Amino acid sequence: MQLFESLISQLRTMWRILLHTFSRAETVQYPEQKPYLAPRYRGRIVLTLDPDGDERCVACNLCAAACPPDCIALQQGTREDGRWYPEFFRINFSRCIMCGLCEEACPTNAIQLIPDFEMCEYDRQNMVYEKEHLMIDGPGKYHDYNFYRVAGMQIEGKDKGEAQKENPPIDVRSLLP
């Protein structure tokens, strides 16, 4: 009896597979037919500029610390106006796993992952992207954010207490409220 049931089950399987003759293939014919990539897709990494056209990265090294495969290397430097910037910024994409932890760690929204995954090179050395390869000419996903306008750090042209939503500095030696 059990044998009979399993025989029926097998015949039913075959019939249902046969019905698949009339269903469409699910395959996306990749090079000709691109798949939809969401704006938040984690692909190639870029460095963005703030709305004023200055680079956002302050070379805090948090991305390099968060990076699981250690593919980010950078060196901090200080400009004459007091802003910090990376002297070099290097991402080895042959190691990068596109996890997006650098983007989450970044305090200034400088480093961002974009929906582009087509990075093929014949030479492995070409997978190492320097700062000029990473930098894009725009603010990326965050159009209005400018770190130095909201942070309390003093730079040329903006003193302590002049940032957005920032109170003037408290005179700690005075007892008056």
Footprint on this chain of another protein (rule: CB under 8 A): 3, 10, 13-14, 16-18, 20-21, 23-27, 29
Q: Closest distance between another protein and the C-beta of residue 6, in Å?
A: 10
Nearer to another protein, 21 or 174 (CB): 21
Q: Closest distance between another protein and the C-beta of residue 14, in Å?
A: 5
Residue type, 109: N
Q: Closest distance between another protein and the C-beta of residue 119, in Å?
A: 23
Nearer to another protein, 10 or 76 (CB): 10
DSSP labels for 122-142? Answer: SSGGGGEE-HHHHB-SS-TT-
Nearer to another protein, 2 or 174 (CB): 2
Q: Closest distance between another protein and the C-beta of residue 37, in Å?
A: 21
Helix, strand, coil shares, percent, the chain, to 5: 25, 15, 60
Give the residue from 53, 58, 38 showing the smallest Cα distance to 113.
Answer: 38
Nearer to another protein, 32 or 137 (CB): 32
- Cβ atoms within 10 Å of 154's Cβ, excluding its own: 15
Query: Could you give phi then psi for residue 160, rounded to 5 degrees?
Result: -60, 135
